[in-house]
Chain A
Amino acid sequence: DGGITQSPKYLFRKEGQNVTLSCEQNLNHDAMYWYRQDPGQGLRLIYYSQIVNDFQKGDIAEGYSVSREKKESFPLTVTSAQKNPTAFYLCASSIYSGVGETQYFGPGTRLLVL
């Protein structure tokens, strides 16, 4: 069953704590992305990766870190430097279709601060 999985579905963070959100895909997509969605807001890009061992900052990278050691995996760490982490986090992967990239989303992780 091909797709994108994210875990956990809900995550609670204590003050000063780093937490890691998992994203795995078995679609053989090269590119992967992390977005943040706040209520009533559009999706904002945190980080993206086009190939293994390479990634670039998006519009709101401060307070976040990522790694891309395997094509299938793109974990996101929310560090203690991110002062307002409560949001819905979405991972996506994309495939080039001849005229452009088409992105598909995982089910998301909702992060809440205790």
Chain B
Amino acid sequence: QKEVEQNSGPLSVPEGAIASLNCTYSDRGSQSFFWYRQYSGKSPELIMFIYSNGDKEDGRFTAQLNKASQYVSLLIRDSQPSDSATYLCAVNYGGSQGNLIFGKGTKLSVKP
């Protein structure tokens, strides 16, 4: 059974702080990893994807991947109230179909 685990939260951080969101996955064959942001009542929006071990930065967002530990994280620097949302981690376990397994999401609240 392939699984993706996330702490459901809520994770509360003050405005301007770094928010750290974590995700673990069960299948060592997993090849690509995605972070989506979902505002309440809206559809998921792709923030970042990462394929290789290490860090990938895009503006205030940094994705970190450690395949040996089966761990992927998302750091949000200078958190803003507009970052308050549920963050979904998704893992592609390989194969040609491109299917993703989603975690249940971590709810982030950024307090002004």
Physical interaction between A and B: yes
Minimal beta-carbon separation of A49 from chain B (angstroms): 10
The listed residue (A40, A56, A104, A106) touching B97 by CB distance below 8 A is A56
Chain A residues with Cβ under 8 A from B7's Cβ?
Answer: none
Of listed A33, A40, A43, A104, residue having the most chain B CB within 10 A: A43
A63 interface residue (CB < 8 Å to B): no
Minimal beta-carbon separation of B57 from chain A (angstroms): 18
Chain B residues with Cβ under 8 A from A94's Cβ?
Answer: 98
Q: By the criterion CB–CB under 8 Å, are B88 and A100 in contact?
A: no
Q: Mark A75-105, 1 if CB is under 8 A from B, else 0.
A: 0000000000000001000101001111111
B104 interface residue (CB < 8 Å to A): yes
What's the count of A-B pairs with C-beta under 8 Å? 61
Q: By the criterion CB–CB under 8 Å, are A103 and B98 in contact?
A: yes
Q: By the criterion CB–CB under 8 Å, are B31 and A104 in contact?
A: no
Chain B residues with Cβ under 8 A from A50's Cβ?
Answer: 96-98
B45 interface residue (CB < 8 Å to A): yes
24 A-B residue pairs with CB within 8 Å? A31-B97, A40-B8, A42-B88, A42-B102, A48-B98, A48-B99, A50-B96, A56-B97, A96-B98, A99-B31, A100-B51, A100-B92, A100-B98, A101-B32, A101-B92, A101-B98, A102-B49, A103-B100, A104-B46, A106-B43, A107-B42, A107-B43, A108-B42, A108-B43
